[in-house]
Amino acid sequence: MEYLIQLATDPAAWIALATLAVMEVVLGIDNLIFISILSNRLPEGQRSRARRIGIAMALVLRLALLGTIAIIIKLTAPVFTVLGNEFSWRDLILIAGGLFLVWKATPEIHEKVDPDDEAHGDGAGAATATATAVIAQILVLDLVFSVDSIITAVGMTTHLPIMVIAVLIAVTTMLLAADPLSEFIHRNPTIVMLALGFLLLIGTTLIAEGFGAHVPKGYIYAAMAFSALVEGLNMAARRAKRKRSQAS
């Protein structure tokens, strides 16, 4: 109890909490985009439930990983070397997660570009999506993003209560934003392609980081924000054009 009181009265702890909470929310955007795209493939009545389950699993995973923080820290230790490049378990998890994102986003983009080819494809159509399959895929990416999130948290503070509170804030924010974001993506088809492009970018970044090429997160999120701004301007232009057409 004395330890918690000292943390609560320490200004540096509050600054660390605010910084880490913002960082966790930003890192959660990747996960939220993936959850939104996958859940929108389900029948409308199942979407919200799948999103809530996916986000709840993210919370459970992150809190469980915080409970094994000593093991998580060891994931950054090299386990083998290939052609002079050292690889840790974290690197392997990031590479696997990045490949998974690229593998999921590519057929989705193909389906949007050539919907008539769906009958000759791999059956990735919305009609084949099931809640169990969607939740299982969300769980896989939850694990990847949770490991990355916890390692980031460990690098920013050594106080476990601060990490737990930051994770709770981030997951609560995801829970509140999930339905509005998914509905927005569903109502605006062009946003789907933009979001799939984000998934490709995130997947490629995860693979690059797994191979030791550090990509500053600020550059990635700045590019995503600029792309979203341009798409927002395009949407505003299309609405204005529709209004002019209706008026004439």
User: Which element (helix H / strand E) includes 85?
Assistant: strand 85-88
Q: Where are the alpha helices (DSSP H) in 114-188?
A: 131-156, 160-187
Tell me, what's the pLDDT at 121? 45
Tell me, what's the pLDDT at 119? 45
Tell me, what's the pLDDT at 97? 84
Report CA torsion sign: 116, 120, 126, 127.
Answer: positive
The DSSP result for 92-119, as a single string, is HHHHHHHHHHHHHHHHHHHHHH-GGGGG
Which residue in 165, 230, 145, 149 sits closest to 191, CA to CA?
230
pLDDT by residue for the chain (248 residues), tens digit each?
Answer: 666 676 667 777 777 778 778 777 777 777 788 888 888 878 888 888 888 888 888 788 878 877 776 677 677 788 888 877 888 888 888 888 889 888 888 887 887 777 665 544 444 444 446 778 888 888 887 787 777 777 767 666 667 777 788 888 888 888 888 888 888 877 777 787 888 888 888 888 888 888 888 877 778 878 888 988 888 888 888 888 888 888 87
Reported as a single tens digit per residue, the pLDDT across 122-131 is 444 444 467 7
CA angle 236/237/243 to nearest 5° reads 90
**Tokens 């395009």 found at:** 234
Q: Tokens representing 94?
A: 């990031």
Tell me, what's the pLDDT at 2? 67
Output the average pLDDT for the chain.
Answer: 78
Using the 8-state DSSP alphabet, how is residue 81 labeled? E
Reported as a single tens digit per residue, the pLDDT across 28-46 is 777 788 888 888 878 888 8
Yes or no: say if 210 and 91 are a contact pair by the CB < 8 Å rule: yes
* Distance (Å, whole) CA 147 – CA 182: 24
Tell me, what's the pLDDT at 123? 43
Q: Tokens representing 149?
A: 């999130």
- The whole-angstrom distance between residue 44's C-alpha and the CA centroid of its chain comes to 22
